[in-house]
Structure 1
Amino acid sequence: MTSSPADMAFALLREGRAVEAQELIVRELQAVEARQGRGGAAWTSLQCDLGNVLINSGQPGRAVECFRAACAGPPPADPAEHKDYLTYRLNLGLALQAAGQPAEAEAELRRGAEERLAFYGREHAGYAFGLEPLADVLLANGDPGQARQVADEALANFWNNGHERTASALALRAEIMSAEGVPGGLFQGIEQLPDELVEQTALTVLDRAGRGDPRALWPVVTDLVAALEARLGPDHQATLNALSMLANLGRDAGDPAGRVAAIRRVMTSYERQGRLEDALMAAQGLAMAYGDAGDEAAALRTYADALALAERVDRPELTSQILRNWGLALSEAKRPAEAEPRLADAVTQARRGADPEMLGRALIALGLFLQHQERLTEAMSVTREGLALMDPAHPDAVMGSSHLGAMERGQGCGCGDLGGAVAEAFRQFVIGQLPRDLLLDFSVEIVDGDFKLNVELRREPTEGELEQLDRIIQTAHAEFRRRLSART
C-alpha cells in the first residue's frame, strides 16, 4: 500500500525531521497548484496537511494561514467535500487557540459548531466534534460555567452514540468541573465505561495535564488516580501513569511531599510486579525528587539503592544514567572526591552500551566536572568527544558547547554563555538544511531573549529558495524553543 504525502510527512516528524516534513508537503502542494490552480479538493486537502504538520512542529501561526486558505471558499455542495470543509474550519479554530488568539478561536469554533449543527443535526456525533473544542476554548477564556454546559452536551452526545470520543469529553468535563470548584467526583460515569475507554480517558487527562497549569490540574489528576485505582486496580499501567503525572505536577506545583509519595507508590508497584527496569527509572525519579525537596541525604541514599538495582538489571545505558546523575548530585553536594569516580564509571558503562547520546551525556557531565576542578586539558578532550556524539540542540550539548567555548577562549567556566551556544546550534540547524552555494554568511545572536539573524547570500536566489529559507528559519525558531524547553 502506497503511503500518502501526509503519512510520509508525519513519519519524518516522528524522526525529528520537521523541515523535511514541511518541504515534502510543500512540493506536493506546488505540483497540484501547477496542474490545477488554487482551490479544489486536492489543493485544500494538502493545505490542511501542511497546517497539521506545522501545528505538530510548534508553528501554529503559520498553520492558521494554511487552514484559512483551506476553508476560504464557500462550503462545497458535495457532501464528502463539505465534511472535509468542516474539518478544516475546526482545525482553524484549534490553530487560532494554539497561536494565542483566544477570542478569534472562540468565534471560529462557535461558527463551526453552528455549521455542524446545520449539516449533521443535533443528535449526530459530528455535531459533538464541534462542541468539544468550543468547550475547551471557553474554559481557556475563563468561562467555566458556559464551558460546562457545552461539555455536558458534547459528552451526552458521544455517550448516546457509543462513540470513543466519550473518553476525551469526560476528561475535559472533569477539568471544567475542577475549575468550577467541584471538590471531587470529577469522573462520574467512568465506572460504566469499558476498559479501553477508561484507559483513553486517562491518556487524555495526562496529555492535557502535560500542557496545562500544574496547580490547576493537580486536583484533576488526584481524582483520576483514585478513579483508576478503584476501576482498574493499583498495578494497572493507566493508574501508574497517572501517579507518574501526579509526581510531575507535584514538582511544578510546589508539593515536594506529594511528589515523593506518588513516586514511591509507582516504584513499589513495579517492584511488586518484578518490573525491575521500570522500578529503576522510578528510583531515579525518587532520588531527583528528594534532591529538589532539599533532602540531600535521602537523595544520595536513593541513588546508591538505584545503582544496586541497576546492577541486577545489567543494562549499561541505564547504569550509566544512574551513575551520571549520582555523580552530579555528589558534585552539587561539594563531595568531588566521591563524584569523580561515579562520573568516570558512567562513561565506562555508556561505552559498554549502544546509545551514542547516553555516552555523549556522560562525557559532557565528566568534562564539565573536570573543568570546574580546573583540569582544563582533560576537560576539553572529554567534552569535545561528547559533543561529537550529540544533537547540537540537546540541552546537555548546548551546556557542553558553552563550557567548551569558554575553555578554548581561556575564560571562566562558561555557565553564563549558554546564549552563544544556543545561537550557534540554531545557525548549524539552518545552514545544514540549505543548498551549500546559497549562503555567504549566516550569523545568529540572542538579543532581548530572541534570535537576531544576519543573512548574506552568495548569489541571487530563486523565489522558491527564498520561500524555503523563510520556512526553515521559522521552523528553527519553533524547534529550538520546543527542544530547549523540554525536560530531560
Structure 2
Amino acid sequence: MTTPLTPVELAFALLREGRMGDAENLMTREVQATADRHGPGSPEWASAQCDLGNVLLNADQLDRAAECFRRAAAVPPRDHESRKDQLTYRLNLGLALRMAGRLDEAETELRQGVQERLAFYGREHAGYAFGLEPLADLLRQRGDLAGAREVVEEAVANLWRNGHERVASALALRAAIVHAGGTPEPLFVGLHQLPDEVVEQIGQVVTQLLDRDDPASKPLLTALVAALEERLGADHQATLNALSVLANLGRDLGDQAGRIDAIERVLASYDRQGRQEQALMAALGLAMAQDEAGDTEAGLRTYASAAVRAERIGRPELRSQVLRNWGLALKEAGRVGPAEQRLTEAVEQARRGADHDMVGRAGVALGLFLQHEGRLSEARTVLEEGLAVLDPVHPDAIVGRSHLGAVLDGRTCGCGDMPGTIADAFREFVLTRLPADLLDRLDVAIVDGDFKIEVGLRREPTEAELERLNQVFQTAHAEFRRRISEPHYAR
C-alpha cells in the first residue's frame, strides 16, 4: 500500500507539471488549515509557512518566499526541535534574499544565523558549519574573497572532522573561491582521502557554481576534470559528465576547439566501454560542433560514421535522428540532392519506430526543406503530417506551424508570424485539454512579451471544470512563456 503524498509533496509534484498556481493555492490552503488547527504563530504554522516558502522559491517568486521564511523564523521556539527548525527558517530566509539580489539583507540574516547556530550547536558541530557555507558563498558573490576564504575554510575543517558528506559542497565552494582569488595553489585537495560518492558530489556542485558567461569558468572546470580523471579515472561517469559540461561551456564561450576536444574525449571513453547509444549521441554532438566551428567536411564525415553506428544499434528512432541531422547539415552545405535523400529516409525510419515525436520532427525537417525548394504542395502535406503527431508545445511544432503558415501564403521562405504562431499553439494546447462545449471563444495574443488572454464561456462551468480550466492555463503559461523569447529550430 502506497503512502499518500503530503501537501508539500503534492505541491512539488504540481510544480514539476508546470502548475505553479495550483501548487501555491494548495500550500496557501494548508497554511490556513494549520492556523485553524494549531493557531497562527504556532510551530506547526511556522513549518507550513516554510513549506509555502519553498514552493514559492521554486516558482521563482523570491520576494514572497522570503516573507514566508521571515514569518516562520519570527515564531518563538517552544522546545529543542522547534529551535532547530527556526535555524533552518532563518537559513532559508538568507538564501531567498540572496537569490532575489537583496544582498545586504541576505548577509545580515546569514550572519545572524551563524551566530545562532554557534550558540545552539557549538563550534565543533556540523550544524554550525551548515550556516557557514552559504555565508561564504554570499561573500564570494559580493567579491569579498578574503572573507569568503576564511569562512569556507572553517566550514571545510568542521565538516571534514565530523566526516560529514556535506564536505563535498564545502570543498567545491572552496575551489571556486580559491580560483576566484587567482592564487597558484591547488583548487582540489584531499580527494584521495574521500569516498567516490563524495568526490562525485564535488563535481556536481562545481558545475552548479559555474558562471556560464564568464571565461574564467573554463580553467576552474578544466581543473575539475583533471582532478576527477586522476581520482576516479577517465571513464568514470563523473569525469564524463564534467567533460560534457566543459563542451557546453565551450559552446557558450565560443571556444569551439575546446568544445570539440571535450566531446572527442567523451566519445573515446564511450567507445572504450562499448556504450554504443551514448557514443552515438556524443558523435552527433561532435558533428554539430565541427560544423559550427566551420569545418563542414569533418562534420559531414562524422555524421556518416554516426549513421553506421545507428545502423549497428538497429533502432529506427536513432537512425531517423542521425539521418535528420545529417540531412540538415547537407542542406546547409548546399548539397541539395543528398540532403533530400537523408531527410526522406529520416521520415521513413521514424515511421518504423514507436516515437511519435521523432516522426513529427523528421516530418517538419523534410517539410521545411521542400518549402525552401519551392515545392509547396509537397511541403504542406509533409508538414501537416508531422504536426499532427507533435505536441503543440514542442519547439519543432512551433517552428513547423509557423512555416506551414508561410506555405499556405504561397511563400517559399520565412517563418511567418512567430509570435502569432506561438499564440495559436497556446490556444490549441488549451482547447485540446478542455471539454469541447465549455469555451465560446479563446483569444490569445502576445503583448509586451507576455500572453494576453480573453475567455468567453458557453455555459456555467462546474467546480471541477473551473479547477481544470485553471490548471490548463497554468500549465500552458509555464510551457509556452519561454518560447516567446527563445523559439528555435534545433537539431
Q: TM-score, normalised by structure 2?
A: 0.87
Q: 1:423·1:446 contact (CA, 8 Å) conserved in 2?
A: no
> Counterpart amino acid of 1:334?
G
- Structure 2 equivalent of residue 28 of structure 1: 30
Larger radius of gyration: 2
- Please give the per-residue CA displacement for 1:328-361, whole angstroms capped at 9, x wherever unaligned: 1111112221111211222222222222222222
Q: Cα distance 1:386–1:90, how it changes in 2: closer, same or farther (>3 A)? A: farther
Deviation at 1:474, TM superposition (A): 7.7
Change (3 A) 1:36 1:482: farther
Paired position in structure 1 for 2:255: 255
**Contact (CA 8 Å) 1:214, 1:252: kept in 2 or not?**
no
- 1:76-225 superposed matches below 5 A: 76-183=77-184, 185-209=186-210, 212-225=212-225
User: Match for 1:237: what amino acid?
Assistant: Q
Give yes or no for the alignment of 1:379 onto 2:348. Answer: no
Q: Do the aligned partners of 1:370 and 1:376 also contact (CA within 8 Å) in 2?
A: yes
Instruction: Give the residue type in structure 1 aligned to 2:401.
Output: S
User: Deviations along 1:140-159, whole A, 9 cap, x unmatched?
Assistant: 22322222222212211211
Please give the alpha-carbon distance, in whole angstroms, between the structure 2 residues aligned to 1:475 and 1:59.
17
Structure 1 stretch 172-181 or stretch 99-108: which is displaced more?
A: 99-108
Q: Which moved more, 1:40-49 or 1:223-232?
A: 40-49
Structure 1 CA distance for aligned equivalents of residues 104 and 472 of structure 2: 29
* 1:231 and 2:231 are equivalent in the alignment: yes
Q: Which amino acid aligns with 1:331?
A: K
Deviates more, 1:451-460 or 1:330-339: 451-460
Which piece of structure 1 moves more, 106-115 or 19-28?
19-28
Q: 1:8 matched to which residue of 2?
A: 10
Q: For residues 266 and 22 of structure 1, what CA distance do their matches in structure 2 show?
A: 42
SS in 1 for 2:446: strand
Partner of 1:63: 65
Does the 8 A contact of 2:20 with 2:474 survive in 1? Answer: no
Change (3 A) 1:75 1:394: farther
Task: For 1:131 and 1:348, locate their aligned partners in 2 and report how far apart those are by CA, in whole Å.
Answer: 58
What is the letter of the counterpart of residue 2 of structure 1? P
| Whole-Å separation in 2 of the counterparts to 1:454 and 1:11 | 26
Amino acid at match of 2:130: F
Shift of 1:15: 5.1
Aligned partner of 1:451 in structure 2 is 450
Query: Which amino acid letter does the alignment assign opposite residue 292 of structure 2?
Result: D
Map of 2:294 onto structure 1 = 294
Q: Secondary structure at the match of 1:76?
A: coil
Per the alignment, residue 366 of structure 2 pairs with: 366
State percent identity of aligned pairs. 60
CA shift, 1:432, in A, is: 7.6
Count of aligned residue pairs for this structure pair = 484
Matched ranges for 1:332-481 at <5 A = 332-410=332-410, 413-415=413-415, 417-426=417-426, 441-447=442-448, 450-455=449-454, 479-481=479-481
Structure-2 change in CA distance of 1:146 and 1:471 (3 Å): farther
CA distance in 2 between counterparts of 1:16 and 1:88 reads 26
1:427 and 1:444 in contact (8 A); partners too: no
Cα gap change, 1:178 to 1:82, in 2 (>3 Å): same
Task: Give the letter aligned to residue 319 of structure 1.
Answer: R
CA contact (8 A) 2:324 2:342 kept: yes
8 Å contact 1:364–1:386 — kept in the other structure?
yes
Specify whether residues 43 and 149 from structure 1 end up closer, same or farther in structure 2 by C-alpha distance, changes over 3 A only. Answer: same
Alpha carbons 1:443, 1:454 under 8 Å: kept? yes
SS at 1:215 equivalent: coil
Are the counterparts in 2 of residues 439 and 455 from structure 1 also a CA contact under 8 Å? no
Closer/same/farther in 2, CA of residues 259 and 224 from structure 1, 3 Å limit: same
